[in-house]
């Protein structure tokens, strides 16, 4: 007997979460995403159909293959993937799972998706990102992008978050995630707690220098004779 898995017929597409790298076409007219693992060499649009990355002729997802789009059920699970070094510049996607899918304990493997929203993380300096800039790598015909604030663009090819959403099309929403608040580093902007912290830091550095000088003095005395 052949074991048949239970079939689901949801009234609306299930929601899933995944991470991906935003990409911009070499001529700057199109925007999309590329995966972080299997199938990462094939950029896709906001609405896309999966195909077997091994070139097999079966429909994705196939039970005896690992092809198809992948996502997880929980947003927090997808956000945790952004902690790894190689995924720090990726963005968080909220997707609608469309068409055939296989349900797993932690997520779906499925045939078609619509990306509803992309959340962009902070710039490498910690400031809230206002743009997506050339990340220094890419795929044939596509530049990979990374979150950037205005101060870190430095002449790189870039697009604003709104422009990326417009180029991607199909109603995609692109929002900036949280980042560090830009502090006022001028002396006039410092209050008593900030000045006290600065003074403590300077005192700690002075103590360290005095200890180092004392060690050098002891070595000098030990070498006399």
- pLDDT per residue over 55-109, tens digit each? 778 888 888 887 889 999 999 999 999 999 999 999 999 999 998 899 988 999 9
* Structure tokens given for 167: 């180029």
Q: What integer is the mean pLDDT of 5-18?
A: 85
**Contact, 90 vs 19, CB < 8 A?**
yes
Average pLDDT, the chain: 85
Which range of 41-55, 98-112, 130-144, 171-185 scores highest in mean pLDDT? It is 130-144
Inform me whether the pLDDT recorded for 184 exceeds 50. Answer: no
**Contact, 30 vs 19, CB < 8 A?**
no
DSSP three-state, residue 225: coil
**How much of the chain, in percent, has pLDDT values that exceed 90?**
58
**Contact, 22 vs 144, CB < 8 A?**
yes
The DSSP string of 43-79 is: -B-SEEE---TT--SSPSS-TTS--SEEEES-HHHHH
Q: What integer is the mean pLDDT of 32-36?
A: 95
| Res 28: pLDDT | 96
By CB atoms closer than 10 A (0-12, 13-18, 19+), residue 129 is buried
Tell which phi-psi region holds residue 132, choosing left (phi > 0), alpha (psi between -120 and 50) or beta.
beta
């Amino acid at each position: 007997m052949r074991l048949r898995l239970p079939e689901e017929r949801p009234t609306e597409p299930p929601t899933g979460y995944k991470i991906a790298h935003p990409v911009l076409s070499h001529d700057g007219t199109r925007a999309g995403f590329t995966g972080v693992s299997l199938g990462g060499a094939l950029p896709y649009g906001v609405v896309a159909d999966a195909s077997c990355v091994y070139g097999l002729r079966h429909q994705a997802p196939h039970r005896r293959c690992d092809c198809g789009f992948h996502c997880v059920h929980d947003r927090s699970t997808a956000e945790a993937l952004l902690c790894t070094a190689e995924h720090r510049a990726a963005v968080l996607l909220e997707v609608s799972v469309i068409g055939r899918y296989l349900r797993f304990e932690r997520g779906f493997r499925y045939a078609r998706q619509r990306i509803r929203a992309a959340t962009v993380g902070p710039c490498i300096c910690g400031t809230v990102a206002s743009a997506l800039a050339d990340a220094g790598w890419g795929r044939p015909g596509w530049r990979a992008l990374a979150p950037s604030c205005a101060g870190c663009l430095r002449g790189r090819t870039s697009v604003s978050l709104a422009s990326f959403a417009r180029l991607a099309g199909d109603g995609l929403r692109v929002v900036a995630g949280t980042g560090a608040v830009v502090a006022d580093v001028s002396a006039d902007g410092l209050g008593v707690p900030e000045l006290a912290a600065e003074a403590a830091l300077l005192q700690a550095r002075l103590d360290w220098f005095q200890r180092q000088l004392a060690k050098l003095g002891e070595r000098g005395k030990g070498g006399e004779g």
